[in-house]
Chains A and B, each alone.
Chain A
Amino acid sequence: MANGSKSDGPDGDGTNVPPGGTDLPDRLRDLDARLNKFQAETGRDRSKGYVKEGAAYGRALKHVSEFVGGTMAGLLLGWLTDLATGWFPLGLVTGLILGFVTGFWNIYKSSLRSGGS
């Protein structure tokens, strides 16, 4: 079917003009714009809200595991140092203290990350 000249031929006197005009590329562009607007209003917002809600719930558990992870890594490292060198309590104690510091450092860093994005 030819587009340009016969566009409002069979349908009658051009009362049935779709939004955005009769030109096909124009109408496609219009549809695109409306779809984008619709997605911006509904889809995006909804998914963002869901993620935000989940992130709020997970943040507390995240900080705890960051702290536990740091402490345990320090402890493990100290214990391995003890095993390797035979300075029994010294490595364990130093590792534990460094682990505590690391735990707080981890919390600090992860809260920066979640606050930033």
Chain B
Amino acid sequence: MAASPLEQFQIKTLVPLGEVGGVPLNFTNSALFMTLAVGGIVLFFAQATRTASVVPGRLQTVAEMIYGLVADTVRSAAGKEGMQYFPFVFSLFCFVLTLNLFGMIPGGFTVTSHIIVTFALAALVFLTVLAIGLSKHGLHFLDLFVPQGAPPGLKQFLIVIELISFLSRPISLSVRLFANMLAGHIAMKVFAGFIVALLGAGAFAVLAPLPFLIIVALTALEFLVAGLQAYVFTILTCIYLNDALHPGH
């Protein structure tokens, strides 16, 4: 019996750690991959910067490229003041990128295909932006919701819309990452299932290489999506940070 394409997203308990207030607290495969991701990031950057030299080696070049990419993004989207939040944005980018790429390992688990994980990350961004905005600008931060140059009747309506729009940010941020990862991995599993089904269908087995070719292309696409979605998550974080730093535009 072919496995369901959704089976890969199942949370499995690896080490039960008891209960807290009636809620089971377990070390799951999701937690395992998050731990592996953090460990991998720390190991990678420790190794890459261990023998830091003026003429970088291979690992150092990769580390510098990641730094440059995120630094450029922060500077262009949030301005010079945004650079004080660079550590936050950089950690976020590395974490999401590593989780996405770990999901590409056959048999691996894609943590970012669970909306609760992406929503937690997006909520972290949202609350950070809110805290920065309110602490830097006080109530002036609320000017963000007042559209400039709108006629009086429309203005009140647009304030409501802007408010809902602001609240929709963590939702759209998390849905985007989650939907991309989920859809990609389901598509790959479905086409992989076609190969097995065709091979087992007598003369139709000659068609089996077709879904295989699609799988090869999809795998390449998924690598692109993994990088791209981590980047999109980062650039939107920067755009929201920019709103918190300069609410008046």
Are B175 and A65 touching (Cβ within 8 A)? Answer: yes
Which residues does A use to contact B, with CB under 8 Å? 54, 57-58, 61-62, 65-66, 68-70, 72-74, 76-77, 98-99, 101-103, 105-106, 109, 113, 117
Known: A70-B165, A77-B164, A106-B165. 18 other contacts (CB 8 A): A62-B176, A65-B172, A65-B173, A66-B168, A69-B168, A69-B169, A69-B173, A69-B175, A74-B164, A98-B161, A98-B164, A99-B168, A101-B161, A102-B161, A102-B164, A102-B165, A106-B172, A113-B239
B199 at the interface (CB under 8 A from A): no
Contact assessment for B232 and A62 in the assembled complex, using a CB-CB cutoff below 8 Å: yes
**By the criterion CB–CB under 8 Å, are A105 and B175 in contact?**
no
Known: A61-B180, A65-B179. A99 touches B172 (CB 8 A): no
Asked if A58 and B168 make an inter-chain contact with CB atoms under 8 angstroms apart, the answer reads no
Least distance between A16 CB and chain B CB atoms (Å): 26
Q: Is the interface of B mostly helix, strand, loop or mixed?
A: helix
A-B CB pair tally, cutoff 8 Å: 67
Instruction: Tell me which residues from 141 to 196 in chain B have a Cβ below 8 Å from any Cβ of chain A.
Output: 160-162, 164-165, 167-169, 171-173, 175-176, 179-180
- Inter-chain contact A54/B231, CB cutoff 8 Å: yes
A102 vs B224: C-alpha distance when bound (angstroms): 30
Give A68's nearest chain B residue, CB to CB. Answer: B175
Q: Measured between C-beta atoms, what is the minimum distance from A54 to chain B in Å? A: 5
B228 within 8 A of A: yes
Residue numbers in B under 8 Å from A54 (CB-CB): 224, 228, 231
Flag if B228 contacts A73 (CB, 8 Å).
no
Closest 5 CB pairs of A and B: A69-B172, A73-B168, A65-B176, A69-B168, A69-B171
Q: Which residues of B contact A113 (CB under 8 A)?
A: 239
